[in-house]
Amino acid sequence: MAQIIIKSRLTEHGAVPFGLAEGWPYLLGLLADWRAWLGGLGLVASSILWYSAVSRIPLSLAFPFAALAYPLVFASSILVLHERFSWQSLAGNGLIVLGVVLAASQLP
Looking at residue 15, what DSSP letter applies?
A: S
Whether residue 107 is predicted with pLDDT greater than 70 in this model: the reply is no
Angle at CA of residue 37, ends 30 and 51, nearest 5°: 130
Q: Is the pLDDT of residue 105 over 90?
A: no
DSSP annotation of 106: T
- Flag whether pLDDT at 73 surpasses 80: yes
Is residue 100 within 8 Å of 64, Cβ to Cβ?
A: yes
pTM of the entire predicted model: 0.76
Q: pLDDT tens-digit profile of 26-57?
A: 999 999 999 999 999 999 999 999 999 999 98
Q: Percentage of the chain with pLDDT > 70?
A: 98
